Structures are given as structure tokens and as C-alpha cells.
Homo-oligomer: A and B are copies of this chain.
Amino acid sequence: MRQVTIYDIAKEAEVSISTVSRVINDTAPVKGSTRAKIEELIQKYNFQPNAMARGLLKNETGIIGVIVPDLTNPFFPEVLAGVEHEAMQSGHTFLLSNTIGDYAKESEYLSIMREKRVDGIIFMGGRINLKHCEEHLAQELVQFASVIPTVLVNGGLRGTDLIRVAADESAGTALAVQHLIELGHTGIGFIGGEVHMTTTSIKLRAFRKAMKEGGLKVREEWMLPDSFSIDSGKRQMHNLLAMKKKPTAVFCVNDYTAIGAIKAATEAGLTIPDDMSVVGFDDIPLAHHFIPELTTVSQQANELGKTAVNVLKAMMNKEKVKKLTTLEPQLIVRQSAGSPRK
């Protein structure tokens, strides 16, 4: 029942636990015959040192806490793959929390991770403007970060200066809008995104700026934030198509909403991209398999994850790190955006 301990091994090998520990960690010379005997016993009982005992003493767990808002949105598994790959290199594993954007869960998980004494935290899905919640969470995170190395991925918390790793979503948005403008669109809508999330507010602002720079007017009734789900994309495209004056193109905050928007437009009998151009964001794996293939903006999800871990590791080693590490997004031109019909 009880797992084998270093004491059991020591007893059977007729040595002290110190010697066993030395064999395990190879921290000091041990006589060949003794070592052989101990190694044999370790093998025999399939002994694994208890990470809690070790961690207690060394004050580290080898665990990185990762908080993501929504695992069913393929963007996050991509980031996670990067995180895992990089974490593995240094023997770290990770504790995952899916918060579904629920503030209470974020808070709870933060607390659990403190209890578990994770070596570091990667926090994705920054929110903004949430009044009490934001303030409370921000305060909590700052307090937290003062004890445990923490890096925010894509989206900071206003009023804090936590370490961040982020794709330049603003530049990415500009890329997308410019592309639509170059294709000849003059009426462009904006679909999706929760307004209290950093990612949305960044894109909203960048969208307005890019429109202005392109000499186009933003029509407020075409600005349709909602959430990040496929359904929200569908819903808002539906709303858009019910208007008297419609845009010929939309920028969607992510690929999921873009898929939803395309779906709704198709159901309404429109042809993509001839009747309606749609550009997404994230370049999820599915984007180039969807019909039509999605024109979108890649923010190098995988790289984002890797970078976050590397920054975190640097922090754990008490190295100086930049406040903000930025990754450049890329426009991926495929089929869902084209020139408007004359």
C-alpha cells in the first residue's frame, strides 16, 4: 500500500539513508559494491523518491501553473503545446486550469497554485475594465507575482506592471484591416470579443486606427463585440445581415468567430468572399482546412508559449527580464477575403 521509501531501501541494503540519497542524486562517491546493491533494490522496488519530501526541502516543485480561459478554443492548446515543449526541457510539468473566463475560478485557482507552491505561473486571458473584479484580481495577481514568478500571456492588467509576453495584436489587426482595404473594401465591420478583455480592447482600438489611416469611416452599428465563440460570430453576422446598409467585409477577433460569421453568411445565401469577406485571427490549425480557407492573422501561438516559459525560467533564476516581450504577427492570406463584387 504505502510506497517504498528511502528508508526501506536503506534498511534492506544495510546502509544509512544518506548513502541511498547519494546514490540517487550522485552527489558524493559511494563504494561500487554498495552502489550496485542500492541500485538493484531501487530497480527491484521501482522506487521513486517522493517529490513532496524533496520539494519541501529544496523549496521547489518542478511544477508550472498555467491558467487558460478556454481550452476548447484551439488557440490555447497551441500555446500550451509550446509551453509544454519548453517546460519539458527543464523537467517541469504543469498544472492546468481552465477558467472559462470566470473570475471566481481564476481567483480560486490562483490560490490553489499558491498552496501547491508552483515554481511559476503563466496566466493567459487578461481582462480589463471589469470594475471590482478586475481590481481585485489585479491586486491578487500583483500580490501573487511578488511571491511567485508570474508571466502574463497576451493581455495585461491595467494598473499593474506584471511581466508580459504578447503578440502585437495591434499590429496584427492593422495588417488585417489594411489587407481588406487593399482589396477594395470601404465598409468593414468588426465582430466578436468580450469588451472587458484586453485582447478585444486592443483590437478595437487598432481597428479604429487602421480604418482612419486608410481613410475609412467606422460605422458604429457595425462594431459588434460579443464573445469568442463560434456562435457569437454567427449571431453578429446574422445581426449585420439584417441591417439596411451592410459592410462588404468583416474583421473577426478570432478564427472561431470568423467561422461563425462565415457560417451565418453562407446560410443567408451569400458567397464567401464574393459577397462578404471575412478575416479571422489566430490561424488555428483548422483555419486552412475550413471551407473556404480562412484568411487570418497568425500570432505564432506555439512560439508564444515557448517564449512565456523561457521568460518564466529566467525569472525563476532571478535574471533580469524585459517587462514586455513582443512577437510579430503575420497576415496569412487564403480564401475568405477577396475583392468586393462591383
Contact = CB atoms under 8 A, between A and B. Distances in A.
Counted per complex, copies of this chain come to 2
Contacts of A147: 3
A54 to B, nearest CB: 8
B72 A285 contact: yes
A61 interface: yes
Contacts of A53: 52, 56
B56 A259 contact: no
Nearest to A111: B48
From A111, A260, A285, residue with most partner B Cβ within 10 Å: A285
Interface in A51-72: 51-53, 55-56, 59, 61-63, 71-72
B260 A289 contact: yes
A339 interface: no
A264 to B, nearest CB: 10
Contacts of A291: 262-263, 266, 290-291
Interface stretch (A26-34, A94-102, A165-173, A215-223): A94-102
A116 B266 CA distance: 51
A2 to B, nearest CB: 8
A63 B286 contact: no
Nearest to A292: B291
Interface stretch (A11-19, A74-82, A243-251, A273-281): A74-82
Contacts of A84: 96-98
Given A63-B95, A71-B80, A291-B263, A230 B48 contact: no
Given A71-B80, A77-B71, A81-B71, A289 B51 contact: no
A180 B61 CA distance: 53
Nearest to A266: B291
8 contacts: A3-B147, A51-B115, A51-B117, A52-B53, A71-B80, A93-B96, A259-B286, A286-B286
Closest 9 A-B residue pairs measured CB to CB?
A71-B77, A52-B52, A51-B115, A96-B96, A48-B114, A52-B56, A51-B116, A48-B115, A230-B289
Interface of A: 2-3, 46, 48-53, 55-56, 59, 61-63, 71-72, 74, 77-78, 80-81, 84, 93-98, 109, 111-112, 114-117, 143, 147, 230, 234, 259-260, 262-263, 266, 285-286, 289-291
